[in-house]
Amino acid sequence: MDKEILQSLRDIEQENDVKVLYACESGSRAWGFSSKDSDYDVRFFYVHRPDVYLSIDPVGLGKKRDVIERPIHDLLDVSGWDLTKALKLFRKSNPPLLEWLYSDIIYEETYGAAEQMRELSRDIFSPSSCIHHYTNMAANNYRAIDGKNEVKLKTYFNALRPVLAAKWIAQRQEIPPLSFHALLTQVVQDHDLFDAIQRLLEQKIAGDEGNKGLNIPVIDHFLETEIEQLRRYADKLHYHHIDDPTEQLNQLFRRTLQEVWSY
C-alpha cells in the first residue's frame, strides 16, 4: 500500500500545485488496533507557492481552502492541512496534529517543518486542552455504548484510547504515545480490567472493522468513571505554555517557504 499512498501524494501535489511536507498514518493502524479491513488514514500537511500567501485573501478564507481531501477509495483515506492551518492548530496544542507528528508510521518527511514542530511541541503542549479534547471524544463514543447490549468493538476502542491518553497526561503532564499497547500497559493497573481490554483487543485485531460483541460491564464502568473524573481534573488545570509562540511559528513558516520554493 505504501506505493499507492506515495502516488496519491504526488497526484495531490500536481493537481493542487503544492508540496507535501509530511505524511503519516493516523487512526487504528497507528494506534495498534486495526482490523483486517481497516482504512489507511493518511494525514499530511502541505505548502502552496509563496504568491498564494502574498494576496489580500488569506488561505482558508472563501474559495482558498486550507484543506485537501480525497474520496475514500480502496481503504485509502487521504486528507491534509495547509501549513498555515496546521501551525495555527499547533499553537493551540491540537491533539490530532500532535498525534500526526509523533506517529510511528511516517510515509514521507521531505522537509524540516515537522521536526521543527516536534522541537517546539513540549513547550506548546497544554495538558488542560488536550485532556478536554480526549474526554469529549471518549464521551461521544461512550454514548454509543452506554445501555446497549451489543456494541461495535471499534467503538469501544474509540472510547478507550482517548481515556487512556487523557489519564497518561494527567499522570505525567506530557504528550501521550500513540501506541494503544503502551497506554494500556502503563496506565491500567487493575488486573481484571487489563485482561478484559486485552481480550477485546485480540478480538478486534482478528476480526473485521464492523464486528460487534456483547457489552463488557468492567470496561463500561471504567469509561464512565474515568470520563467524569478526568473532566473534573482538567477543569482545575490552568492553560500554561511559554511566551506567545506566534513569532516562532511565523519564522518556521517563512523558513519552510524558503526551503521548499527557494525564493
Is 200's pLDDT higher than 70? yes
Report how far residue 134's alpha carbon sits from residue 167's, in angstroms, rounded to the nearest whole number.
10
3-state SS assignment for residue 178: coil
DSSP single-letter state for residue 55: S
CATH architecture of 2-124+242-261: 2-Layer Sandwich (3.30)
> pLDDT tens digits, residue range 41-88?
999 999 999 999 999 989 988 888 999 999 888 889 999 999 999 999
Is 240's pLDDT higher than 60? no
User: Phi and psi dihedrals of 236, rounded to 5?
Assistant: -90, -15
Ramachandran category for residue 262: left, alpha or beta (phi over 0 → left; psi -120 to 50 → alpha): left
How far lies 190's CA from each of 172, 186, 196, in Å?
19, 11, 10
In the chain, what are the domain boundaries? 2-124+242-261, 127-236
DSSP single-letter state for residue 184: H
Residue 214, beta-bridge partner list: 150
Contact 215, 197 (CB under 8 A): no
Record the cell numbers describing residue 204, joined without a space.
478486534
How sure is the predictor about 27, in pLDDT bands with cuts at 50, 70 and 90? confident
Report how far residue 50's alpha carbon sits from residue 167's, in angstroms, rounded to the nearest whole number.
42
The C-alpha torsion from 129 through 132 and 135 to 136, rounded to 10°, is -110
DSSP-assigned letters across all residues of 213-238: EE--HHHHHHHHHHHHHHHHHHHH--
Report how far residue 38's alpha carbon sits from residue 248's, in angstroms, rounded to the nearest whole number.
38
3-state SS assignment for residue 210: coil
How sure is the predictor about 239, in pLDDT bands with cuts at 50, 70 and 90? low
Beta strands in the chain (DSSP E): 18-25, 40-48, 67-69, 76-82, 106-109, 150-152, 212-214
Is 184's pLDDT higher than 80? yes
3-state SS assignment for residue 83: helix
Cα 261 → chain centroid: 28
How sure is the predictor about 13, in pLDDT bands with cuts at 50, 70 and 90? very high
